[in-house]
Structure 1
């Protein structure tokens, strides 16, 4: 047996053990738990031009995706080139109706973003990290305006949490970004419990339900 085949067998065995011991969330709603965050790319004249988005999958989902693709980490805990290519192809193939996780608004008005580009993937402390760029269809002047990004997926299939402090790239003078954590009230706690009872094949009846549980990143430039 080759070293690569041995590692894949070990990954598959570990995955089977994880599945056997998985908590109820594996068959509840949401199904996939992702940390990460959003950075802002600002051009000349306080023009917001793009968002840089980071997803960090939990260790269980990382192991599942690697095993499903027939890959395993190298002996130093990194990803081989072939694994990076395969995962970028898989994770970058978004359905047309998938809006992603970064929902931008300026002064309360939704702003459209181009399809994602510049996908990169690596392995950090046993967790898969995906980064990509979402350009604004039209760059926007943001001086003295409230810029907000909701970090969520509309159907709540994915549960996103902002764990990375937001960074500002480019002309960042007099700009400040901060995270506004989701803080559930009693009604949302009850709704979360109801959603948790949905199985993997069910979709919440509430449109854009993920927005109700979203962490948000707010950017303000003086």
Structure 2
């Protein structure tokens, strides 16, 4: 098994197809740091993802080439490169909107992988494909559009900004009310859960909401 796009590997290993899912099978604790330069442009979104122990143990089984029950060196490099290639079509789960329009990300130069206390960690910088000035209404979030992976920001302090250019902006962490979303979208959610990917996942995602002069 390899880390497939949208982390379908657990099901692929069992010989099943990868349909859309109505609930997550992989759980991630995340941190996001949005970086801007002195010219007022967003230059990077620094991501840190820590995966749940069950998924992490399956990754050890699949990538432990020397069978020493741990991941080091080329094994970790292989994981990072697999994710870098496979998540391109999902914009690396890292979502930006500028005045309501989706912003495309360039492929990261590298995704670093590590294994700490039995949990897989991924570190990488996502960068806008084109210059992105700090102006108008911007949102930054990390979520899986297939709803296979649940990405959680445990604390508001896990979504932060870096750079003096943000001083002209107001920043808010938005945490949607799941019950309210389910109630308001009851008629469309059932069909959405059977589409891959589904736009409905963004309704449930925690986001950093920024408005700049």
Match of 1:33 among 21, 27, 30: 27
Query: Could you tell me how far 1:169 is from its partner in structure 2?
Result: 3.0
- What CA distance in whole angstroms lies between the structure 1 residues aligned with 2:36 and 2:49? 21
- Residue in 2 that maps onto 1:24: none
- What CA distance in whole angstroms lies between the structure 2 residues aligned with 1:155 and 1:28? 9
| Alpha-carbon distance change, 72 to 186 in structure 1, aligned in 2, over 3 angstroms | farther
Match of 1:121 among 113, 121, 126: 113
* 8 A Cα contact 2:47 2:125, kept in partner: yes
- What CA distance in whole angstroms lies between the structure 1 residues aligned with 2:118 and 2:185? 32
Match of 1:142 among 98, 113, 134: 134
- What CA distance in whole angstroms lies between the structure 2 residues aligned with 1:209 and 1:152? 11
Q: List runs of 5+ in structure 1 lacking aligned partners.
A: 1-26, 197-201
Give 3-state SS (helix, strand or coil) of 1:150's partner.
strand
Query: Could you tell me how far 1:120 is from its partner in structure 2?
Result: 1.0
Query: Could you tell me how far 1:58 is from its partner in structure 2?
Result: 0.6
Query: Could you tell me how far 1:140 is from its partner in structure 2?
Result: 2.0
CA RMSD across the alignment: 3.4
- Structure with higher Rg: it is 1
Query: What is the correspondence of 1:177-192 to structure 2 with a 5 Å cutoff?
Result: 177-186=171-180, 188=182
Q: Count residues with an aligned counterpart.
A: 187
Q: List runs of 5+ in structure 2 lacking aligned partners.
A: 1-20
- What CA distance in whole angstroms lies between the structure 1 residues aligned with 2:166 and 2:29? 28
| Alpha-carbon distance change, 190 to 73 in structure 1, aligned in 2, over 3 angstroms | farther
Deviations 1:53-75 (A, max 9, x none): 22211111111111121269989
TM, length-normalised to structure 1:
0.69
